[in-house]
A = this chain, B = another copy of it.
Amino acid sequence: MGAREWLSRGGRAAAAAAPASAPASPSAASAAAAPAPSAAARSTGERLKATLRRGPEALSPRALRRTLAELQGVVDGRVSEVEGARRAEALATWYAAASPEERHDCWLLMSEHFGPDQAQVRAAREAYEKALGTPDEAQAEIRLRRAYVSPRTRLLQRFSGFPAGMRFLVDLRAELLPRLKADKRLLPLDAELESLFSTWFDVGFLELRRISWDSPASLIEKLIKYEAVHDIRSWADVKNRLDSDRRCYGFFHQRLEGEPLIFVEVALTDAISDSITPLLDEGAAPSDLAKATTAIFYSISNTQTGLKGVSFGDALIKRVVETLKDEFPRLKTFCTLSPIPGLRGWMAKNAPADLLQALDDPLHLPAKSPQRAQLLAWAARYLARELEQGKPCDPVARFHLGNGARVERLNWAADPSPKGVKQSYGLMVNYLYDLKRLDRHRAMLAQGRVAVSSQVESLLD
């Protein structure tokens, strides 16, 4: 899902030769001679040995040492930031051509050899503890905090210092994430990346931009690629979603130019939508904007796997609501039309077998069949009562309810697509963003209660 453009520039072909002849950085020699700045003293040898347990595609012991020296050269305190960034860029060029195994080794080096200097940390901590309550406490706290800023942080910051460096780091993490479970040694690197991304991609640094049919084709192509809720089938499909009665907004970051980090698709209507079908109908005439009272958020997609854990969605929705209210003062209702991706799976574990069987072909159930009513009741219960560690267990519900929305309405046959039937028997749900109650709803949720409309409430009895 995440874009891997940066990494795919090089490719596997050049990899075999790379470790032997490479690291291309001009500073290899001098850097190698330098002692590793911090954790090195204690454990370089042992740690390197531990790293060298990998297969035939991995770095040779010699290449491993050389790569470590390269990495140390990047954070070498004696070179300028500018030179450090240049070295980081050279390493990234090597990385682009490296094999998956070589990359894994590179991650291990970054994760295991650039931790905080234990001796320094210990000294700072002891000083801090002595200082607690004295006039020196403040200074001691500062020194302790600095001791904890690991060389790994500086290493990654230097990678962000060349133009394509941010793309490199985001793609690196996207590649790293699926390996974390199998190799916990990578966790510190991942945590360091997440921590830096949280600061760099803080909402204050994101730019909200409207995406329209007048946006660059290269950008609209990315909507097609990244759309995660209702697949975009063609250019005609995406053009319909950017028609005069629609709005699409994304968050952009100056260091990932042309890349929407997240985007939301909105339809402006005169009532809360109860089906996705007309919204995706390319042939439907656009509705009359002058009569629009309601904004339907019908799709929201994250695009960068590598930014996992950095949340944009809540801020995006709230900024979009403000932007829409400025443009269309008549808008009164802000509401989603959302899938319920976990419903069928949860039902399979919890609902009686006879109901499940009756729901085999839900779209053709008669209007007044008892199974319809039962399904709606189960769905209401799923959304409004099923919490895991205090949070809604449906992932989409978790997002919107966590933002302070409430469960407004369940809609029968609202998504008759195979995916919709497979996920939730064709059901979709509206989450209502009542701007005056968002924080009240969040507070309720913090106490384990999900906010629902009276209509949904009635399904729960």
What residues of chain A have their CB less than 8 Å away from a CB belonging to chain B? 27, 78-83, 85, 111, 115-116, 118, 125, 132, 135-136, 138-139, 141-142, 144-145, 148, 157, 160-162, 165-166, 184-188, 191, 195-196, 199-200, 202-205, 207, 213-221, 235, 239, 254-255, 258, 314-315, 318-319, 403-404, 438-439, 442-443, 446
CB distance from A239 to the nearest CB of B (A): 8
A141 B115 Cβ-Cβ under 8 A: yes
Q: A79-B439, A207-B254, A213-B217 are in contact. List 9 more A-B contacts (CB 8 A).
A: A83-B438, A136-B184, A138-B188, A145-B148, A145-B191, A148-B148, A200-B205, A204-B255, A254-B254
Determine the distance from Cα of A121 to Cα of B197 in the docked complex, in whole angstroms.
Answer: 23
A195 B145 Cβ-Cβ under 8 A: yes
B255 A205 Cβ-Cβ under 8 A: yes
B204 A160 Cβ-Cβ under 8 A: yes
Q: Which residues of B contact A218 (CB under 8 A)?
A: 213-214
A135 B202 Cβ-Cβ under 8 A: no
Determine the distance from Cα of A363 to Cα of B3 in the docked complex, in whole angstroms.
Answer: 44
Q: Which residues of B contact A202 (CB under 8 A)?
A: 157, 160-161
B166 A314 Cβ-Cβ under 8 A: no
Determine the distance from Cα of A191 to Cα of B83 in the docked complex, in whole angstroms.
Answer: 26
Nearest CB to that of A139 among chain B residues?
B187
A204 B165 Cβ-Cβ under 8 A: yes
B81 A314 Cβ-Cβ under 8 A: yes
B204 A161 Cβ-Cβ under 8 A: yes
CB distance from A411 to the nearest CB of B (A): 27
Q: Which residues of B contact A118 (CB under 8 A)?
A: 132
Q: Which residues of B contact A219 (CB under 8 A)?
A: 214
Sampled A-B contacts (9; CB under 8 Å)? A116-B141, A138-B185, A145-B195, A161-B204, A199-B200, A205-B205, A205-B255, A214-B218, A216-B217
B80 A318 Cβ-Cβ under 8 A: yes
Contacts known (A213-B217, A404-B80); A141 close to B188, Cβ less than 8 A? yes
Nearest CB to that of A147 among chain B residues?
B148
B135 A184 Cβ-Cβ under 8 A: yes
Q: Which residues of B contact A220 (CB under 8 A)?
A: 217
Q: Which residues of B contact A318 (CB under 8 A)?
A: 80, 82
Closest 8 CB pairs of A and B: A138-B187, A142-B191, A214-B216, A217-B217, A82-B318, A160-B204, A138-B188, A161-B204
A80 B187 Cβ-Cβ under 8 A: no
Determine the distance from Cα of A196 to Cα of B195 in the docked complex, in whole angstroms.
Answer: 12
Determine the distance from Cα of A404 to Cα of B83 in the docked complex, in whole angstroms.
Answer: 11
Contacts known (A135-B184, A191-B145); A403 close to B80, Cβ less than 8 A? yes
Q: Which residues of B contact A446 (CB under 8 A)?
A: 78
Partner of A254, one of B79, B139, B205, B258: B205
Partner of A439, one of B83, B188, B319: B83
Q: Which residues of B contact A254 (CB under 8 A)?
A: 205, 207, 254
A78 B184 Cβ-Cβ under 8 A: no
Determine the distance from Cα of A314 to Cα of B404 in the docked complex, in whole angstroms.
Answer: 47
CB distance from A263 to the nearest CB of B (A): 15
Nearest CB to that of A238 among chain B residues?
B217
Nearest CB to that of A189 among chain B residues?
B138
Most buried by B among A115, A116, A162, A205: A205
Determine the distance from Cα of A191 to Cα of B146 in the docked complex, in whole angstroms.
Answer: 10
Partner of A315, one of B81, B144, B221: B81
Determine the distance from Cα of A278 to Cα of B446 in the docked complex, in whole angstroms.
Answer: 60
Partner of A443, one of B78, B200, B438: B78
CB distance from A410 to the nearest CB of B (A): 25
B214 A138 Cβ-Cβ under 8 A: no
B442 A80 Cβ-Cβ under 8 A: yes
CB distance from A170 to the nearest CB of B (A): 13
Determine the distance from Cα of A319 to Cα of B162 in the docked complex, in whole angstroms.
Answer: 12
Most buried by B among A217, A220, A314: A217
Q: Which residues of B contact A196 (CB under 8 A)?
A: 199
Q: Which residues of B contact A438 (CB under 8 A)?
A: 80, 83
Determine the distance from Cα of A116 to Cα of B138 in the docked complex, in whole angstroms.
Answer: 12
CB distance from A188 to the nearest CB of B (A): 5
Q: Which residues of B contact A141 (CB under 8 A)?
A: 115-116, 188, 191
Determine the distance from Cα of A446 to Cα of B83 in the docked complex, in whole angstroms.
Answer: 16
Determine the distance from Cα of A428 to Cα of B28 in the docked complex, in whole angstroms.
Answer: 38
